[in-house]
Chains A and B, each alone.
Chain A
Amino acid sequence: MDAFNGQKLDKIPAHVPPELVYEYDNARDPRLLQDPHARMRSLILEAPPIFFTPYNGGSWVVTRKKAIVDITMNPEVFSNAFISGAKDSQQSLSLLPISVDPPKHTAYRAPLNQPLSAKSVAGLESAIRAMTNELIDKVLAAGRCDFLSDIAEPLPVTLFMKLAGMPTDRLAEFRHLATQATSSTVDHATREGVFKRIAGILAEVIKARQEKREEDLISHLLDVNINGQNPTFQEMLGYSITLFLGGLETVVNALSFGVLRLARDQELQAKLRADPSLLPGAIEELLRLHGIASTVRQVTRDEVCHGVQFKKGDTVSLLLPAANYDDAAFPNPEQFILGRTEQHQTFNTGPHRCVGLNLARLEMKVFYQEWLKRVPSFRLDSQSPPRFMGGFNLAVTSLPLVW
Chain B
Amino acid sequence: MAKIKFIEADGKEHEVEAQEGQSVMQAAQNNLVPGIVAECGGFASCATCHGYVDEAWLTKLPPPDAAEEGMIACAFHVRPNSRLTCQLKVTPELEGLVVRLPVSQTSE
**B41: CB under 8 A from chain A?**
yes
A114 touches B70 (CB 8 A): yes
B78 nearest CB neighbor, chain A only: A119
With a CB–CB cut-off of 8 A, which chain A residues contact B73?
114
In the complex formed, the residue of A with least CB distance to B37 is A343
**Which listed residue, A73, A119, A122, A351, touches B45 by the CB 8 Å rule?**
A351
Interfacial chain A residues near B39, Cβ < 8 Å: 353, 357
Q: With both chains docked as a complex, state the minimum distance between the C-beta of A343 and any C-beta of chain B, in angstroms.
A: 8
Of listed B39, B70, B75, B76, residue having the most chain A CB within 10 A = B39
Q: How many A residues have CB within 8 A of the partner chain?
A: 18
Given A350-B41, A351-B40, A113 contacting B71 (CB threshold 8 A): yes
State whether the Cβ of A305 lies closer than 8 Å to any Cβ in chain B. Answer: no
Interface string of B48-78 (1 = CB under 8 A from A): 0000000000000000000100110111100
Output the least CB separation between B72 and chain A (Å).
10
Q: How many pairs of A and B residues are in contact by the CB < 8 Å rule?
A: 53
In this complex, how many residues of chain B approach chain A with their Cβ under 8 Å: the count is: 18
CA distance A114 to B69 in the complex (A): 11
What's the Cα separation between A113 and B39 when bound, in Å?
A: 12
B41 touches A110 (CB 8 A): no
Q: Which residues 207-222 of A have a CB within 8 angstroms of B?
A: none
Using Cβ atoms and an 8 Å threshold, which residues of chain A touch B106? 118
Which listed residue, B41, B44, B67, B74, touches A118 by the CB 8 Å rule?
A: B74
Residue A377 CB within 8 A of the other chain:
no
Name the B residues within 8 Å of A118 (CB-CB).
47, 74, 76, 106-107
Chain A interface (Cβ < 8 Å from any Cβ of B): 73, 102, 106, 109-110, 113-114, 117-120, 122, 349-351, 353, 355, 357
Which residue numbers of B lie inside 8 Å of A, CB to CB? 39-41, 43-47, 67, 70-71, 73-76, 106-108
